[in-house]
Structure 1
Amino acid sequence: MDELELLKKDWQANSSQADQQVSAEAIYPMMQKKSSSIVKTLFYISIAELVFWIILNSYPYFASEAYRAELVAMYGGNNNVLLAITIFSYVIILGFVYLLYKAHKSISVTDNAKKLMETILKTRKVIKYYVIYNLVVAFLSMSFGLYYSVYNNPEISQQFAKFSDKQMFVATLIMILFTALFILVIWVFYRLIYGILLKRLNRNYKELKKLEV
């Protein structure tokens, strides 16, 4: 059992209000430090994710002319549309990184349990919305990519034109399952990366609520 758990156990065992106040004052700085450390870790993970997506999106685009031409064709041959979508995606991620950095700084300097709880709640909401945004974007990207391949790629569209109704049904079902699997993998990724830390942050929030009682 670590020092924080011992302090919490001692605080709960004390019956007098004065003793509870002293114990709460001893526990709060440790709760603050743990919360700050969790948000700081989330911030570093978001930085790593930003770098990962930049490399993943940029390298194939600049390394392969065929890939670049196909990607531009997916957006109606308009390179500006592709550029605008890419910039928008990076702005969203940078905004997420900024909000996590701001939360970390806020937790580090606050000396008020109520403000700390508010910051924790805001951090949880930011991550929740960010994960939802990424799942929606992944779904739209996958759906759009499959649609383009089927109706605009000459080789694939010609193959689909030869399909019977049954074959078309099976092919459509496979694409739906593939898309669902793709979204599931991304959801599991975020669940593992952010979910564990969010559980710890939520645990700190509940402990802070007890201190406020």
Structure 2
Amino acid sequence: MDELDILKKDWQANNSKDASKLTSQEIYPMMHKKSSSIVKTLYYISIAELLFWVLVNSIPYFYSEEYRAELADMYGNSAVILGLTIFSYAVILIFVYLLYKSHQSISVTDNAKRLMESIIKTRKIIKYYVIYNLVMAFLSMTFGLYYTIYENPEISQQFAQFSDKQMFIAMLVMVFATALFILVFWIFYRIIYGILLSRLNKNYKELKKLEV
């Protein structure tokens, strides 16, 4: 049980109006500190994720000629690859910046209403970012499968020899693989961001009680 829960129990156990006011004044700074700490953690996680994707994409690209050749075949030329890479990193950097601004906003606010607004804003930022990543994961998987089936000569020849039943089964497998891929991404973000967001939501609900 953390300090906030202990204070809440004391608050509920005490029927004195003056004591309630005092406890409310004590609870708000703690909730402010906890909310700021959560958003700060989200900010550091976003930086770690940015570094992770930079390494994942950069190491194979710079150390494998075969990987570069496959990307060139898939996207047509290096300019397209560069454009998509810049766009992807730009989105993550914007997300990191917005989280940083949210943390700054929460850190300096001294008003419960503004703190609640900052929490709502942070939740929306995380929500849109997760949706963006799930959509991009779906598009990447779909595009990769399309390229493998229709642009890879060896795979294309194999699919050309499939019967209708075999083609149907192959499509089911690909749909399942895509769904599994998206599910893994969703679980990853659910674990990484979901736990912290649930704590942030809890703080928001408690702040609403204090505002009543």
Could you tell me the TM-score, scaled by structure 1's length?
0.96
How far apart in 2 are the matches of 1:17 and 1:65?
73
Match of 1:152 in 2: 151
Q: Which amino acid aligns with 2:84?
A: I
Number of positions where the alignment pairs a residue of Structure 1 with one of Structure 2: 212
How far apart in 2 are the matches of 1:127 and 1:143?
24
Instruction: Measure how far apart 1:17 and its partner are.
Output: 4.2
Counterparts in 2 of 1:1-213, with a 5 A limit?
A: 1-75=1-75, 77-213=76-212
Q: Which amino acid aligns with 1:47?
A: I
Q: Which amino acid aligns with 2:97?
A: Y
Identity %: 74
Instruction: Measure how far apart 1:10 and its partner are.
Output: 2.3
- Gapped runs of 5+ residues in structure 1? none
Residues 132-158 of structure 1: CA deviation (Å, up to 9, x unaligned): 100000000000000011000111111
What secondary structure is seen at the aligned counterpart in 1 of 2:6? helix
What secondary structure is seen at the aligned counterpart in 2 of 1:187? helix
Residues 21-75 of structure 1: CA deviation (Å, up to 9, x unaligned): 2211110010011011111111111111000000001111111111111112111
- Gapped runs of 5+ residues in structure 2? none
What secondary structure is seen at the aligned counterpart in 2 of 1:194? helix
How far apart in 2 are the matches of 1:3 and 1:181?
41
How far apart in 1 are the matches of 2:69 and 2:80?
13
Residues 125-182 of structure 1: CA deviation (Å, up to 9, x unaligned): 1001100100000000000000011000111111111111111111111011001000
